Chain A
Amino acid sequence: MASLGARIKELRLKAGLSQRELAKRVQVSFPHISKIESDIEPASTELLERIALEVGGDPDELILLADRLPDELRQAVAEKPDLAPRFLRSWKAGRISDEDVRNLIPDEPE
């Protein structure tokens, strides 16, 4: 799995942006962006969301790569302390398959 920095760089290059251009668009300094891309400095969740918007990426993907949970998911887990952690542990342990999970998810509206 790519690191957060490598993924941001990949998305940025695909979007045809330089580090400076991205830094300007998300209103941070150029050195900060370059250090995030080299996994030297962390990025706030809010900044990752802005970066995702500018490079056409999925904010959830970047936030998860930063070893964090998007706020709404963290809240959802916290609201179901008896179910959510057990569900995730069962999934991780393979007692629930990916296929089972897919079957549980309703189709997203177009």
Chain B
Amino acid sequence: MTSRKTWPRAQAAHEDEANRILARYASFCAWTPCLPVPVEHIVEGYYGLTILCEQLDEPPGQTILGALSPQDKAIRLNERHIDLFDRCIGPETFTLAHELGHWVYDAVDPAQGQLFGVSADGVVFCRRVDGGQTTDWDIREVNANKFAACLVLPAELVRKQIKSQFDSWRAFEAAARDWGASQSTLKIRLQTLDLEWCLP
């Protein structure tokens, strides 16, 4: 099986990659950059990937929110967690962006829909909610997460929106909701962008 080399990418590389994609999407779809970023439309309308919400098996002790099936050009959202996706703004969009990250970074040839390490059932990458960063697999997961954060909350757009400190956690919560991200994603993103000062 062909394997594409991976390495822990620098934060700037993730920012650049997300910005490149957003610029191409803006030009292709006549989109005026603003928050929330239409991640679902980028996945479907620009990359031509299918979104399928169905039951995914989870190994004991693991939570799997999504997976990428490169042979089908499909991102699978785990229907087992539909309550989470329905209830909370953020996890669904972030999962789509995360799997798109695998598509962008880890595909041997995205045009052919082939990724490294395709398993027998075609499901390669899963967005797992657990820790660790020692193997190639883990590095790919971290890269996909960082890419997703950059795509969901692009630095330039976030900076443009942040005029002053949030006056309350309620205001922060509203901003996260309006920008299509979870509160934890927004908080981490603000820290990454040295905008921690605006937290309430």
Please list the residues of chain A having a beta carbon within 8 angstroms of any beta carbon in chain B: 9, 13, 18-19, 29-31, 34-35, 37-38, 40
Contact = CB atoms under 8 A, between A and B. Distances in A.
B45 A38 contact: no
B54 A35 contact: yes
A75 to B, nearest CB: 36
A31 B82 CA distance: 8
Interface residues on B, range: 10 to 19
A13 B45 contact: yes
B45 A19 contact: no
Interface of B: 40-41, 44-45, 50-54, 74, 77, 79, 82, 85-86
B45 A31 contact: no
Contacts of B53: 19, 30-31, 34-35
B10 to A, nearest CB: 33
B82 A30 contact: yes
A69 B50 CA distance: 28
A3 B77 CA distance: 22
Given A13-B44, A13-B45, A18-B40, A38 B52 contact: yes
Interface centre among A30, A37, A40 (most CB of B within 10 A): A30
Given A13-B45, A18-B40, A34 B52 contact: yes
B98 to A, nearest CB: 18
Contact of B79 (A13, A18, A31): A31
Given A13-B44, A38-B74, A31 B51 contact: no
B82 A34 contact: no
B83 to A, nearest CB: 11
A31 to B, nearest CB: 4
Contacts of B40: 18-19
Contacts of A30: 53, 82, 85-86
Nearest to B45: A13
A88 to B, nearest CB: 35
